[in-house]
Amino acid sequence: MKNTKIIAVANQKGGVAKTTTAINVGVALALRGKKVLLIDFDPQESLSQFFDCYAAERNIAGLMYNIINKRDCDVAEYVIHNEINGVDFIPSELNAMNKIEKDLISVRSKETVLKRLFAKHSELVDKYDYVIIDCLASLNVLLDNALTAADYVLIPCQASPMSFGALPNLILQVKDIQDELNSDLNILGIVTTMYSKTNICKKAKEMIDQTYKELVFKTYIDQMSVVAESPMKEKAVVLSAAKNNRVAAQYRALAEEVDERA
């Protein structure tokens, strides 16, 4: 995993365009010639369902159970290629993810299972330039696993006071992981999402910019209906060539910043 960059896309606040950001940054990096693996680490299966994958029998929780129970497996059987978007992904599954969250409580070194999974199957991970983990909206042991396994955390933050107010708790958890489990973890950046020209959004963006300064990406993401419509097409917004699709251009610009920072 010397050259592979592992990015956890995280925010404990739901509805901040976390999955949309993970998908579009991943696909935009693929457009830049990078080989990308997306991992759905959220019980809601939003990333998996975007790629038309539902209730997958082979899922990321199953791979983690293989590590916990010291079972061998062919990890390639868990990886699905999505031709439309030009990326690979490992799906999630609701019941399996909920079960492993509970079972991890009694596992030795419970925060390191995903990291051990990557180490055991380094031959797979090494094939990719980027592994992007779409995390669940929580500060639980599953997020600990993602942060412990990652090199970077990318934080989408909706342009709203409520989303801004949730950032300190996540950053504190990142610091705890840095201090205790993964000293190599860095905050790649905070990206303002779902921005519109309302006074509330403008004020929230100013607060984010002033508080977190150089951590904030120059690129921000507008709120547009095409984002909500993209799952129905099973095609990332970033693939749109329409000149009036600002979000597509913004995610391509964000991916360029990610590639420069990582």
Query: pTM here?
Result: 0.96
Question: Which amino acid, residue 140?
Answer: N
pLDDT at position 232, please? 58
pLDDT at position 230, please? 66
- The CA–CA distances, whole Å, from 219 to 111, 113, 195, 210, 222 equal 32, 34, 11, 15, 10
5-261: CATH number: 3.40.50.300
pLDDT at position 240, please? 86
pLDDT at position 179, please? 97
pLDDT at position 139, please? 87
Residues of the chain with pLDDT under 70: 1-2, 226, 228-233
